[in-house]
Structures are given as structure tokens and as C-alpha cells.
Amino acid sequence: MTPRIVGLETEYALMALPHGPAAPAMAPAEAITELFRGTATQHRSHNRFLPNGGRLYVDIGSHPEYATAECSNARDAALQDRAGELMLQKMLEAANERLDSHRLHLLKTNTDSGDATFGCHENYQVKRETLDPLDPGFVAFLVARTVLSAGGGLDKSGAYVLSPRAFHIHRVQSADPTRLRPMISTRDEPHADPAAFARLQVTFGDSTMSDRATEIRLRLTSTVLDLIEGGVSLCDLALADPIASLHDCSRHGPAAILALRSGGAVSAIDLLDTVVGRCEAAGIDSLLDIRDMIDRIQGGEQDTLSPSVDWICKKLLLAEAADRYGSSDPRIPRLNLAFHDLDPRRGLADRLRASGAMSALPLEDVERAVSTPPSDTRAALRGRFIAEATRLERAYSVSWTHIRLDSPPHPQIDLLNASQCSDSRVADLIDVMATTPAPPMSRLARLRAGIGPLHHAGEGPPANRP
């Protein structure tokens, strides 16, 4: 079986807090400019593909978003996601060293203090017929997996819930994930051969700070898709009202009772148990660690999963703080956000990882993934091309499915096979770059082509210089 291509798109909340009451407010657009100042950029926009195969850009609402490279397994995807977090953390530190009147905060969260919501979109390459139609039992699984994959947090009333973002979700499927916020986006953008593949985009999930939580979410979901594509139906697990069940699961946790379309009912953890049991019976993949997690929750030992499940880890932290300071203390909501803050001086995640209280991938692997793409997918081709074009200061164009050298102009190379990690056309093009002198380019053309930073760290935009 060819490994399934998976990836993540993670939106980050960006806030600019003044150092004192005399400092003027910083507009979101200004904050994002400060965050990206001194970094390479293409066409004067904060939108670029990276040598590690991923993409860093500014999404609607002036907040940064990082999309991982295509990955053949969940661990690589979790590693690439952490690499994006590390890139943004370094950008944040550089910005705060420059700024005098404000301090920027980047939060890998799905809701902020104003209850604005930020997405974490999961992408799974599937057979085109898998979505026509999608097994309703798969939607039930997505609801139930909340008990392992949710990020945890306080809702608008201050109550602790598994997923504050869940209450922003009101449709199962929609082609407009920005305005309608469905569980699943139905936009037909396969980023692969459209005759054979579709891209299943799960848009309701939570970002997680625990690397194991991220890996488990992707691996388990991919395994359930293997089960369905292998011919096993989950239709008997279809929910009567998936959105109501999602909200109930977030409010009541593993014990939430979910009404089935057939007329029965099942708890969230028991529904997840059933799905995992069918995967085990089919012998698709080893899920021993996930089976152990389900058994612990069913046995009343869920707190032992704190390092691997974000909502449990955060719940214990907030409960400890409430016991010490009182549940109405203003430090509680600040702690709720500090769990997601990338600022190493104020955020909690790095400290939790360092102490062993939160699972983490080896830091040297994360640092390597900042500049190195996965070796067994199309990202290896894209990443090598970008690295060489950047080193040789060549103008180029890339997308998820093509590369093109623009200086000197060469025909576009389409790359529709996401599992392809070698291509003689790309190798030949890189050789051409290395052996052909670059044509002269004006400073303006270089800036438009994204060769070098738009302006250097510590400098303002060109129009603002004396």
C-alpha cells in the first residue's frame, strides 16, 4: 500500500501589547509587518514556499499561517509542524528585540481572549471515490476523536471545555471554510492528479502543543481512512446530529452521550473504542499506544495521559492554579493563553517539554526539519529546487504542483504525483542553474523575485528611510 500523503496548515494568533499606557495601539497589519521584517519575501508579499518544502504566509485577518510539506507519515507531519513553530518563534524573538514600545505574542491556539478563532486544517490524500459520498461514520469518528486530540481551554463563560473552537463549528461540510466553518471543507483542490485523488481537508480540529498529540491525531485519522478505503463501512455509527454531538463532546468529555442516527446512543469514548477495534480487527496498522490511551480513559486514569493529550495537560495546570489563587483570579485566563504562547519568556510549552511534562520530538530533528524537506515525497523536489535557486539568486515560481525557473525563463515542470521524490527534469533544471550564468537583474526586479529580504533586520521599509 502506498503511504497516504498528509499535511497540516496551522494558523497563529498574533497580538501586539504596548509596554505602557502611553504607547499607541499597533494595528494588525503593522504587527504582521514587524513579525516578517527582515525575512525573504516574494513579490512584496508575505507568502513564500520554503526550502523545507512547506509554505509560510499571511492569512485573511493579518495572522501568520504555516503549511507543512507533503508527508508520507504522521511523525514527519508533526515534525514539520513543529519546524514551522520554531521558525515563527525565531521571527518573534527577532521582532521583539527590535521593538521598544510593544511586545508581540504569537499563540498556537484556536481561540484567543476575544473568542476569535484560528484554524488547524488537516489534509489527507484520498481516492476520489472516498468522498463520493463520505462515510457518515467517519464524521462520527472525527467527533469522538476529540477526547484524544482536543487542545482544551476556557469558553466564553469561563467554563473549561475540551475544544473552545468546537462551538464555532456549525456545519458538517461546506466549500467555504472561512465564513461557514465546517468540520470538513469540500473545496475540490487535490494538489495531485485530479482523475485519481482528492484532498480531504478536516478543518475543525485543534492545534496541539504536544507533539505526540499531533502525531496521534494524524496517524489515527489516516488509519481510519485506510479502513474505509479497504471496504469496511462505519455507517452504523452515523450520528443523529454530528454538530450537536461535537458540542456535547467538548462540554462533557469522554463520557458525553452521542445520539446515533439508528436510534441508539453511545459515549464518545466507546464510539472511539469501536472504531479503533475495527481497525485492529482489519490488521491495518499497529494502534497499541492508542488502545492503551482508550483503556486508561475508560478505566478512570485519564490524568496519566497528561503529557500526550493537550486538554488533559491544560486542565490539570488550570486546576492547580485555581486551587492556589482561586478560580476567579485573573491569572487563570492568562495561564490559559500562556499554554499556547511561543514567546520562550512567557509561554509554557517549551518549559513543559523541557521538564518532561509534555511529549516532544527531539529538538535536533525539529531544527533539521526547518531547512530539510521530507525525503520521500514531492516536497524533496520542491525544497531542493528552492534551496538551489535561492543560493544562486535566481527568480523562480513554485506551487504545490509545479516549479519554474524564471531567470533565465524555462518551461514549467508539473509535479502531480505527491509521492514522487525524484525527477530527472528537476535534476536537469538544477544543473542548468548551476552551470548557466544568471542574467543581470535590477534591484526592483530582485525584490519582486524575492531574492533576498525586502529590507534588512533593524531597518524600516524603504519608503520610511531617510
The catalytically annotated residue of 59, 112, 135, 206 is 59
Buried b (16+ CB within 10 A) or exposed e, 389-421: bbebebbbbbebbebbbebeebeebebbbbeeb
SS3 265: strand
Q: Is 206 a catalytic residue?
A: no
CA distance 9 to 362: 21
Q: Which three cell numbers stand for residue 203?
A: 478543518
Residues near 352 by beta carbon (within 8 Å), at least 6 away in sequence: 209, 313, 358
SS3 295: helix
Closest by alpha carbon to 220, among 278, 296, 266? 278
Q: Which three cell numbers stand for residue 251?
A: 462540554
* 185 CB-contact burial (10 Å; exposed 0-12 / middle 13-18 / buried 19+): buried
DSSP state of 57: E
SS3 78: helix
Q: Could you tell me if 162 and 148 are in contact, meaning their C-beta atoms sit under 8 angstroms apart? A: no
Give the catalytic positions in this structure: 59
